[in-house]
Amino acid sequence: MSELSQEEIRRRRLARLAALGGTGPSPAPISPPVTPSASVPSDVLNTQSTRLSPTSLPRSSTENTPDTNTGQNYSENKNGVSDQSKISADGLIVTEKTDNNLLDEMPDTKMTDLSQTRQYNSFDSMGDDTLLSCGSVRVGALPQSTVSGSEGVSIREDSTSRSISPPQFVEPPPVRPRISNASPSCSRRSLSMEVDDVSERNSQSENQQEPMEVEENDNLQSPSHTVKFTELTEEQLRIIVGKMLQVTWSEESSGGIFVPSVAAALLDNPKLSIDELASEALMDVMLQIVDGSDPLNHKALVVLLMKQSMKELSEECVDDLFAKDPNHLDMETEEGECPSPLLPLPKDITNQALAVSYLLKFYYNVNVYERDNPKKSSVPPLSDLILSMQSLIVDHLVLVLRRKFDLQKSRKSPLLPYLMTGNTPTGLIPEILLNTYEDQEALDEVFVPLLMGIREEMRRRVSPLVSRGESAAIRALRSLCELRDGPRHSARPICALIARLPSLCPESVTTAPGREIARVSFLGPFFAMSLFAEENPLFAERMFATGTDQSLAFALQREVEASRNTLHSICHNILLCPEAREPFLMYFAALLQRNERRARLLTDERSLAGDGFMLNVCSVLQLLSVRIKLEERVYPLYTFQPGTWLNIRDETRLFFTNQEAQDWLDALNNDPSHSWPEAKFQTICWFLTLHMHHVALIPALHTHQRRIRAFRDLQKVIEELMAAEPQWRNSFTAVRNRELLRRWKRQIKRLHRSKQCAETALLDPELMRRGVQFYSSVCALLVKQLDAARDAPDAPFSSPAHAFKATPEWYVEDVAEFMLFAVQYVPQIVAYYIEDPIITWLLSAICNSHLIKNPYLVAKIVEVLFVINLSIPMKLKNVYEKFMDHPMSQTALPSALMKFYTDIETTGQSTEFYDKFTIRFHISIILKGMWERPIHKQAIVKESRSGHQFVKFINMLMNDTTFLLDECLTYLKRIHEAQDAETAGTGSESRTRTLAQDERQCRSYLTLARETVDMLEYLTVEIKEPFLRAELVERLATMLNFNLQQLCGPKCNNLKVRRPEKYGWEPRRLLSQLVDIYLHLDSPQFHAALAADERSFRKELFEEAAVRLAKSCIKTSTEIERFKTLADNAYQIAISNQQKSEEFADAPEEFRDPLMDTLMTDPVFLPSGKVMDRSVILRHLLNSATDPFNRQPLSEDQLRPASELKERIIQWQREKRSS
């Protein structure tokens, strides 16, 4: 077959076009078109028409083409067209596959949510060619640009308007960018779909014939002489430009924007270049919009969308239009109506927003064309045209956004709705950035309104509710911050722009700087999402109105965590920008400085940022610091060096006074051998995180604990008032009490809701996990500094080894506070994530308590070990094992605990007398646990043999036992009397209140006393010698005799109370323990001490006790016999002592002890010149290291033996006996 010419091929194509648009079986001849199209001679029309369906449906440019499926002919297809034909972009006529038509590869026009077709991308294309300026809305049949002959046939088909069942959408394959020399993130690029080119689609008949290419159908005799799809003429390129811009330069054509300037330019210069033509067309469209025209009626559609959206929104969600899931919005609208947008739109949009709408539509058209024609779009000349069109549209868009045209300015950036819904065309924002980033003025004019609009959307959205999914505003900001440009893609223009914003860290102008910076700073709304009821009362009322469950709390925590991760991504990108790093760190430092009062006990919360805001900032800093290597990257003395952003000048130090700390710092600065290194980012970031924990996390924990106490106290008051209702029901106070109950119940409901919100926020596993891991690094730093201070006690004053003594006290206190909270409320997190530095620090602080001046600080660390010890049956057994297996706990911890047990006797506070009992209770629990482990038990026994320190510990233990037992028995007697009076009906209301207070006190004292008696019992099993020392044994015997008399004496019935288990009162157990101590210390020295107690020791008392032991089966008969024998031995010594007392009753005054008025056996001189018996003064020194006569400091080594006086006393005794 002869070879076809290029002109003949074009004529055949046009014949097919005419056949599609004709009205009969024989199409009329077509004259050469004026609008962009292929020019074909008329002599080939008849030849081409025989290849097409004999009948065709006359269509206008806005009418849709019916959709057909394989093997089916729907009744709606009135023309009986069986072969679906379509015009490709370059004018080629192709036959579509009926089993895989175009709708199977393109989004359904009824879809309204791009998330159904692809994953979210802030810069994804708008999803359909009917995208409007209002957002991602697809509307039935919109006027489209056409490529037509005289009949104006439309090349865009909408099958959904006629098909019975729309074809199911098939997700397109992934896209791949073309290679370009520009930045990967900001280059002028477009994405190509990995699908077959539309122009190369094969036809397929109803009987499933093998598809054949169009060109082969055109010329079966000479298949080797076909036209390649890349050979596009100038006229075809003009057609493509017209389609992309939806314009026409022929007044006879319809369905596009008529651009007269282009028509005039073509008349003047028929060879007008494609770039000039496109530029002229765009300028013409923009000028029409400037003049108030709306060629495609976008503004009318926006108004309709506005009205429809207001019908969809409920009154309570007017401020939160993201409340409804876009996937569930009702998009089924009547004909002529439009679905609801996802953003609020003004009723009268400006022509600037309208111009942006058109330009985004054109840019989207370019993307769609490139996607539909991936093979042709990847090679010239079409690839050059696409790049040129994208660049041209972006240039005009930048001019519109900068208001270089005479356009009405929009209140917000016209790009904001598209960016918020993720419907900006693919690659548009990077192209805008590439166009403007080298011109700072242009960059500011384009992106500053966009950034401020995003901030405003975040501020508006974050206030009503939290539980609406991650905000689109925060995602949009993250997408902008991730944009990079410049050489090697290292520049981050948006991040640098944010750092230049005056609102990033504004100056304080009010008396509430903390709350002010949280409200007016640029990033303030992004950090403001909160779960706390105090900051978000509407959220608390809605989410926790009927209580909460674990699933709800978990969902809220995951949502907040997702937002915090996004915030971290934003901040991380900003910090990666060198120009933005320092301003951004200064913003965090300003947050700390203006909210430092949050760490105080009494603060005005109205002037400070809320807990939720500060926790979000703290979480971001935690994420930024998680990979900082402490040993290699952090300079430990950063807070002391000049120029630091963190002020600790007025903080209380661990050991130094403020003046001593300043003197040490001055000496360090004047030391020529010391120099301060330059502060690196890792150092600043780590210390900012540490200080942020102090002003954010720790105050939030304290507030929550106060909230819990207030809730429990109010609940107890309500219960007491309701329990007493029978007494006041008919009294004159009934009305007042009922009003109080109503008010208190309403208040406790609010407190309960607030407690639930706070627990959801604070008990977030991720927040607690990061806290444990960060404080592990803090402990590593403290251990390093403590070791330096301990190992170099005599170092020069200018040595950095003294840094630990100058460290702020709250560094240590915050670790203890956090661990106490975490162990009690999230023990599983502690058990899984606790690290060795925390364990080492806690043990080191207790074993080196002499380096910490504040005893309450050490007591708090002891409390951490106490809480872990109590939690052994729960989830912290492995943590307890780690503590017990640590080498320091097996060697130094027992001695340190006993030393601290005695040191806490005086703390310098007015409440020291009562505080010491609580602290010693914690120590007794820890020692009891250690006593059960052989290694630690051996260490305690070894310590008992060391001498003086253990004796002081035993003395304090006996003092506490004496006082606590005495208090317990006193309160038991008072409770007994009150209960008797209540039984007799003589009790009063005041006595009832007193009884409740006595019961609380009795429970507390009995708890403390039980542990001290337990300790005495198990210590005396293995350790006896210290208890039998002269300065201790008599006091111990006196204490035992007195309590035995209370339990078994004639007044023991006064200790009988109703429901003794309510108070923890176990008299049989206490009696058994006292008898055990008697038996453990059975020895001549102990017998003598018992006999020396003239106040309580009586043989009858021991006999009565033995009867009770046997009667109640408390002890075995063997133990009872041993107890009786001990009493007999002591009784014999008591008779002997009585005789001696009568014999030496007239001893001279100088032979008597001035305190006890007893005959001295080993007199000693005090520094003051006074003489005392050694056993008496040693007993006094165990309690107070002072001279009893002048309160001057006194120690045992200052005592001097009075040998001459001692000889005289012995001689006098001999003479007395001989006479």
Q: What is the pLDDT of residue 418?
A: 85
Q: Where are the domains of the chain?
A: 437-629+676-763, 642-675+765-946, 956-1143, 1149-1218
Q: Which residues of 707-745 are buried (b: 16+ CB within 10 A; e: fewer)?
A: beeebeebeeebeeeeeeeeeeeeeeeeeebeeeeeebe
Q: What is the pLDDT of residues 449-493, one digit of tens each?
A: 999 999 998 988 765 445 455 678 999 999 999 999 877 788 899
Residue 583: the pLDDT is: 95
- Token representation of residue 5: 């010419």
Could you identify the residue written with the tokens 């175009």?
102
Lowest average pLDDT, out of 151-155, 381-385, 622-626, goes to 151-155
1145-1183 pLDDT, tens digit per residue, is 788 888 888 988 888 888 999 998 889 998 888 888 887
Q: Look up residue 1188 and give its amino acid.
A: P
Q: In this predicted structure, what is the pLDDT of residue 674?
A: 87
Query: What is the pLDDT, as a whole number, of residue 462?
Result: 65
pLDDT score for 515: 94
Q: Which amino acid is at 125?
A: S
For 692-706, give the DSSP string.
HIIIIIHHHHHHHHH
For the chain, give the number of residues. 1219
pLDDT at residue 448 is higher than 90: yes
Give the Cα separation of 46 and 30 in Å (integer).
11
In whole angstroms, what is the distance from residue 1181 CA to residue 1173 CA? 12
Q: Give the pLDDT score at 548.
A: 62
pLDDT for the residue 1094: 84
Residue 554 pLDDT > 50? yes
Q: What tokens does 72 get?
A: 């089916």
The residue ranges of DSSP E strands in 530-673, in sequence order, are none
Per-residue pLDDT, 351? 86
Q: In 10 A of CB 1025, how many CB atoms?
A: 12
Token duo for residue 245: 């811009």
Residue 301: which pLDDT band, with cuts at 50, 70 and 90?
low
Q: What is the mean pLDDT of residues 660-666?
A: 93
pLDDT of residue 614: 96
User: pLDDT tier at 419 (50, 70, 90 boundaries)?
Assistant: confident
Token digits of residue 702: 């304290």
| pLDDT higher than 70, residue 833 | yes
**Residue 54 clears pLDDT 70, i.e. is over it:** no
Cα-flanking dihedrals φ and ψ of residue 1193, to 5°? -55, 140
Kindly tell me if the per-residue pLDDT of 191 is higher than 90.
no
Measured in whole angstroms, the distance separating CA 88 from the mean position of its chain's CA atoms is 54
**What are the φ and ψ backbone dihedral angles of 141, each rounded to 5 degrees?**
-110, 110
Which has more pLDDT, 596 or 199?
596
The pLDDT of residue 694 is above 90 = yes
Region 397-408: mean pLDDT is 89
- In whole angstroms, give the CA distance from residue 167 to residue 159: 9
The answer to whether residues 1022 and 932 touch, using CB atoms and an 8 Å cutoff, is no
Distance CA 772, CA 759 (A): 17
- Model confidence at 120: pLDDT above 70: no
Nearest to 1038 by CA among 1081, 967, 1093: 1093
CA distance 815 to 778: 8
Cβ contacts of 203 within 8 Å, gap of 6 or more: 83, 94, 95, 96, 97, 211, 212, 214, 217
pLDDT surpasses 80 at 32: no
CATH 3.30.40.10 fits 1149-1218, yes or no: yes
Q: Is 1168 exposed, middle or buried (0-12, 13-18, 19+ CB in 10 A)?
A: exposed
Residue 829, amino acid: I
SS3 for 191?
strand
pLDDT in tens, 969-1014: 999 998 888 888 877 766 566 666 788 888 889 999 999 999 999 9
What is the token pair recorded at 869? 């010890």
Taking 50 as the threshold, does the pLDDT of residue 1057 lie above it? yes
Query: pLDDT digit string (tens) for 99-119?
Result: 333 223 333 333 333 233 333
Reduce the DSSP state of residue 46 to 3 states and report it.
Answer: helix
Give the whole-number percent of the chain exceeding pLDDT 90. 44
Confidence band for 12, pLDDT divided at 50, 70 and 90: low
Query: What pTM does this model have?
Result: 0.76
- Kindly indicate the confidence band of residue 634, based on its pLDDT and cuts at 50, 70 and 90: very high
Encoded tokens for 575: 């910090």
Owner of token pair 């109205």:
606
Of 151 and 921, the structure prediction assigns the larger pLDDT to 921
Q: Which two tokens stand for residue 1152?
A: 């008597």
Rounded CA gap, 123 and 114, in Å? Answer: 12
Q: Check residue 396 and give its pLDDT.
A: 93
Name every residue whose Cβ is closer than 8 Å to that of residue 973 and which is 6 or more positions away in sequence. Answer: 1054, 1055
Reported confidence tier of residue 156, pLDDT bands at 50, 70, 90: very low
Q: Residue 1139 carries which DSSP code? A: H
Dihedral, CA atoms, 926, 931, 932, 936, nearest 10 degrees? 100
Whether 695 contacts 598, CB under 8 Å: yes
Mean pLDDT of the chain: 78
Q: How many CB atoms lie within 10 A of CB 1131?
A: 18
DSSP state of 554: H
Helix (H, G, I), strand (E, B) or coil at 770: helix
Work out whether the CA dihedral 155, 156, 160, 161 comes out positive or negative. Answer: negative
CA distances from 456 to 408, 459, 668 (A): 21, 5, 49
Strands (E), 153-220: 175-177, 191-193
